[in-house]
Amino acid sequence: MSKIGDNYTNTLISLPNPGLGLGLRSKHFNHILEHNPAVDWFEVISENFMDSGGRPRHVLRQIAERYPVVMHGVSLSIGSTDRLNKDYLTKLKLLAGEVKPLWISDHLCWTGVNSLNTHDLLPVVLNDESLKHICTRINQVQDFLERPVVFENPSTYLTFKQSTINEWDFLRYMTEETGCGLLLDVNNVYVSGFNNDFDPAHYIRQLPHDRIVQMHIAGHQHCGTHIIDTHDRQVAHDVWKLFNLAWELTRGVATLLEWDGNIPEFDVYHAELLKAKEFMSSIDGFGITGEQEIANDDVVSNPVNFLVNEVNW
Amino acid sequence: MQGMLVHHAPMQDIALPAAVEDIVNPSQRLSAVHHLDIYRHSYIARLRSCMQSQFNALAYALGPELFELFADQYLDTYPSESYTLNTLGEKFAQFLQETRPDAGREQKENWPDFMIELAGFEYALSIIFDEHTDEQPAVILHDTPDEMLKLAPVFHLFHHQYPICGYYLGVIQSTAPELPFPEESYSAVTRHNYKLGLFTIRGAQYHFLKNMQRGDSVEAAKDNLVKAFEFKRAELDKIWPEWKKGFIDAGFFVFYEPS
């Protein structure tokens, strides 16, 4: 790793733990502005605000004055073979300059090639070639943004025959090569583990825990043969158990509850987040039950319609 | 992989460079094709849902099945090239025009024109909602001199062949509006305190405000309206106080201090 990479590592390990956070959603704008709820911090979807000259940006400015904020992106497309989008990166940097986030995160994924954007977090082939490609791009992004970037493990629904590296090792190599950080999405590990036949607890144990600066927890939908990462309900008990394991191994890092579909009233959302406190101390035994309510197939992964502006009157 | 995702045609109808089984691993419970199908299903369902959010009134007007059909075809024809979903429907009105069912027929139907206008209007509203500008608080009083009035920084005028604004307001106010007959209509859209205001206006008001958009003062806009439409100036001056009050109440004007 270069000296600049070392600097990013040093920056990373000195990042604060702001506590328990919630995703900032337009449905809750008024509630937050009026009631100043006792939430430790908010995670904002960068793309919801970076082009906004209207209410979303106006609200974000006020939120950022009152709460610590983290910027979470869905469009960096670090695994794509298209060139990095300089226009996007420039706007991301401008927004960061305004909001002063604790850190900026995105996903280990690609969203499209040949200029198309699927608006999905697509899985990458995990091998030496892709590792080199992605690390080169992470270095470029971090140098442009002049800060370390934090990468999240996505929920995946397939694995490639060309993959030769386990995802947990791939993520570790990324951090070692670039100084980037990790956002451990515990629910995604559970979802991917079920879908792709690996043990989620093993995955979490293998990660470089000192590089994990944040965790995500969320609800999912079990479809019998597979699990969809729907972010539309309460966190499953098995995911809470995994969270407990991750909390112990990381010694506790910033934790955020994602809820992007069927978004409840703010107090319900906040109450679900606070359940995390019950899983921050040791629990006897570690066993995943696999007991879930089974749904029909009509569910969608990574819901994104909350990324479309809700026009206000 | 992307080629397998961005078209909602059945897998067997897509020309693939390699068999899915050669690229994707099966798992204990699913075949390689089933694994890929999870992404395929979610791709179109996810973006269709965004289209429904962005074109709420159009989805109501077309009904869920027809809207889904148009949206799916649109997403096939114009897949997203942007990192932001806010521009997903940018070409939807154009697409509806290109694919109108009466294309090539001499006798045109009315309803496609209505749907095209409605799609364009809804997309315009989403852009206006997020338009960059320095919003100024509305501090205009009814007795503010005319020469100290200028249009609000976010102010847009629309002229349609159907009562588009009224229909749109009917949908969002849940009054279950009927599909309208052709009727020329005019509307104005403002934004104050980051919230949109929609107003149906009269044709003469539209042209007066259009003159102001081109840079006319109130007096010049009145003069040009009289000239263009052979109105009687005295009659315009008579109704002006009523117009002015309505425009100020609606937030069309902000304070302007001539240099």
Percent of chain B with pLDDT over 90: 80
Residue B178 carries which DSSP code?
Answer: P
How high is the pLDDT of residue B126? 95
Say how many C-beta atoms besides its own lie within 10 A of residue B147's C-beta.
12
Between B64-73, B105-114, B180-189, the lowest mean confidence (pLDDT) is in B105-114
Say whether pLDDT at A285 is over 70. Answer: no
How high is the pLDDT of residue B80? 95
Q: Among A117, A122, A298, whose Cβ lies nearest the Cβ of B82? A: A117
Give me the architecture of the A3-307 domain, per CATH.
Alpha-Beta Barrel (3.20)
How high is the pLDDT of residue A164? 98
Count Cα neighbours of A49 within 13 Å in the Cβ-side half-sphere: 29
Cβ contact, residue pair B86, A225, below 8 Å: no
Q: How far is A92 from chain B (nearest CA, A)?
A: 12
Q: What are the backbone dihedrals phi and psi of residue A23, each rounded to the nearest 5 degrees, phi first?
A: -75, 135
Percent of chain A with pLDDT over 90: 86
Percent of chain B with pLDDT over 70: 92
CB-defined contacts A:B, below 8 A: 156
From chain A, pick out residues whose CB is under 8 angstroms from the CB of B52.
305
How high is the pLDDT of residue A287? 63
> Nearest 5 degrees, angle CA A47-CA A50-CA A56?
90
Cβ contact, residue pair B24, A160, below 8 Å: yes
B173 touching chain A per CB within 8 A: no
Cβ contact, residue pair A161, B24, below 8 Å: yes
pLDDT band at B101 (very low <50, low <70, confident <90, very high): confident
Count Cα neighbours of B200 within 13 Å in the Cβ-side half-sphere: 13
B83 touching chain A per CB within 8 A: yes
Element (H, E) at B200: strand B195-201
How high is the pLDDT of residue A290? 61
Q: Which residue in A has a C-alpha nearest to residue B154's C-alpha?
A: A54
Cβ contact, residue pair B23, A305, below 8 Å: no
**Please, which residues have CB within 8 angstroms of residue B177's CB and are 6 or more apart in sequence?**
B166, B167, B170, B171
Say whether pLDDT at B17 is over 70. Answer: no
Cβ contact, residue pair A116, B24, below 8 Å: no
How high is the pLDDT of residue A295? 64
Say whether pLDDT at A22 is over 80. Answer: yes
Cβ contact, residue pair A55, B27, below 8 Å: no
Among A92, A126, A93, A90, smallest CA distance to A108 is for A126
pLDDT band at A203 (very low <50, low <70, confident <90, very high): very high
**pLDDT tens-digit map of A2-21:** 666 788 989 998 999 999 99
How high is the pLDDT of residue B134? 79
Q: Give chain B's domains with CATH numbers.
A: 1-130 (no CATH), 132-259 (3.90.930.50)
DSSP character string of B110-122: SHHHHHHHHHHHH
Say whether pLDDT at A43 is over 60. Answer: yes
Instruction: Classify B195 as helix, strand or coil.
Output: strand
Residue B168 carries which DSSP code?
Answer: H
Q: How far apart are CA A92 and CA B130, in angstroms?
A: 17
How high is the pLDDT of residue A1? 64
From chain A, pick out residues whose CB is under 8 angstroms from the CB of B18.
none
Give the C-alpha distances (Å, rounded to integers) separating A127 from A55, A145, A166, A173: 43, 26, 9, 11
Say whether pLDDT at B13 is over 70. Answer: no
Q: What ipTM goes with this model?
A: 0.90
From chain B, pick out residues whose CB is under 8 angstroms from the CB of A114.
2
What's the token pair of residue B146? 């005319």
How high is the pLDDT of residue A307? 62
Cβ contact, residue pair B43, A116, below 8 Å: no
How high is the pLDDT of residue B253? 94
Cβ contact, residue pair A225, B30, below 8 Å: yes
Cβ contact, residue pair A157, B41, below 8 Å: no
pLDDT band at B170 (very low <50, low <70, confident <90, very high): very high
Q: Which residue in A has a C-alpha nearest to residue B125's C-alpha?
A: A311
Q: How far apart are CA A170 and CA A167, in angstroms?
A: 5
From chain A, pick out residues whose CB is under 8 angstroms from the CB of B82.
117
Cβ contact, residue pair A56, B197, below 8 Å: no
Give the C-alpha distances (Å, rounded to integers) separating B224 from B214, B219, B221, B227, B235: 11, 9, 5, 5, 14
How high is the pLDDT of residue B12? 57
Provide the mean pLDDT of chain A. Answer: 93
pLDDT band at B139 (very low <50, low <70, confident <90, very high): confident
Say whether pLDDT at B136 is over 90. Answer: no
Q: How far apart are CA B241 and CA B233, in angstroms?
A: 14
How high is the pLDDT of residue A112? 93
**pLDDT tens-digit map of A48-103:** 999 999 999 999 999 999 999 999 999 999 999 999 999 999 999 999 999 999 99
Higher pLDDT, B213 or B1: B213
Domain ranges of chain A: 3-307
Say whether pLDDT at A267 is over 80. Answer: yes
pLDDT band at A308 (very low <50, low <70, confident <90, very high): low
